[in-house]
Amino acid sequence: MEKAILALEDGTVFEGRSFGAREIKSGEVVFNTSITGYQEIFTDPSYCGQIVVLTNPQIGNYGANDADSESSQPFIEGLVVRDFSPVTSNWRSEEAANEFLGKSGVPVISGIDTRALVRRLRSRGVMRGVLSGVGGDPQKLVEQARRIPSMAGLDLATQVSTAKPYEWTEGVTACSPSELVDEAQQMRHHVVAFDFGIKRNILRRLVQNGCRVTVVPALTSADDVLALKPDGVFLSNGPGDPEPLEFQAAQVRKLIGKAPLFGICLGHQVLGLALGAKTYKLKFGHRGGNHPVLNYRSNKVEITAQNHGFAVDPDSLPASDVELTHINLNDQTLEGFRHRNEPVFCVQYHPEAAPGPHDSRYLFDEFSQLIQDFQKQ
């Protein structure tokens, strides 16, 4: 078994076993606390430029299959786990997880103390790192990690976005009878979805709620969106720092009042920027399927799936125009807001949660209702 090395910019080095690709990759080292859904994490475009540490100790045991991919390829730079299983045991598996990552050039390090690594990231914040699937000189890898450019100020959303518009018609294939949509409901509304790094299960959830979906590139202008005659506009999740997305925020600003807007994750941050707010980087981010969020409007707590490293500063939002609707109960960061006068709302987390808790799926129903109310005006 080949030796693998993870080297951090602070000089910390972890040595373990190599799986996946025999490559050397670099990026921002972050951690995710989800118990299941490793393939969805691998293929989430929001992880572009990041080496992901999974806190669940055993990864790879149920293999990989095409249906669980959130995009056409893995976007993580590398994977760090306690125990990586080369043995697959699941009737849905189509290939081993290490083969799935290996053919996409993603190195894996297994057999390290991920608890110690996560404690370091929590105390010192996310760090730049290098993951070598072929071993090497640890000190040289540390020096390489220190030379990695900062991800701050990079427009990663445009980098991972689709190159051209396309239609999406596939709904949720595995759903409960209560979620089935009859033919009368199918395709009631035309939703234009900005692809800042969109996940397939978000698109499936929109279709499940009776939407005909047109996905457009991140740099699509407001005029081009309106030319598609949308009933509603969706702003997707995506990777990186929101502040460089000045063009995208300007286009969203032009769309306010022209059509109902629903944003999640990076889309939430872009909406904040469009309304004049500021964003800031979190120390180690929110990544996992167990984050408690208080909904001020219902006074209920939702357990949510999250994946972001930045947040909107609530004090920078115009209080006369914006109502704060959700707050994170772990660190009191803003998790959602809506416009007081226009059909605009957003949340910081991922309400489609595939996999993850279903507490927040009602937000897709609220989007549909917002579209219907707007059409009656």
| Cα separations in angstroms, 17 against 129, 193, 218 | 17, 41, 38
Active-site residue, 265 included: yes
CA atoms of 241 and 151, how far apart (whole Å): 7
Measured in whole angstroms, the distance separating CA 201 from the mean position of its chain's CA atoms is: 11
- Answer for the pair 16, 110: CB distance below 8 angstroms, yes or no: yes
> 229-248 b/e with 16+ CB inside 10 Å = b?
ebbbbbbbbbbbbbbbbeeb
**Residue ranges of the alpha helices (H) in the chain?**
38-42, 97-102, 114-124, 138-146, 156-160, 200-208, 222-227, 246-255, 266-274, 362-376
- Give the other-Cβ count within 10 Å of 138's Cβ: 18
DSSP string, 251-291: HHHHHTTTS-EEEETHHHHHHHHHTT--EEEEEEEEEEEEE
Q: How many residues does the chain have?
A: 377
- Asked if residues 54 and 80 have their Cβ atoms less than 8 Å apart, the reply is yes
Query: What is the side-by-side strand order in the sheet with 211-216?
Result: 166-168, 211-216, 189-194, 232-235, 261-264, 344-347, 334-339, 322-328, 279-295, 300-312
Candidates 189, 268, 308, 350; catalytic one: 350
Residue 55 C-beta-side C-alpha neighbours within 13 Å = 17
Catalytic residue among 48, 265, 291, 302: 265
DSSP letter at 66 equals: G
Kindly report whether the peptide bond that precedes residue 355 is cis, defined as omega within 30 degrees of 0: yes
Q: Which of 37, 44, 26 is nearest to 266 (CA)?
A: 44
Give yes or no: 352 in active site.
Answer: yes
Residues with a known catalytic role:
265, 350, 352
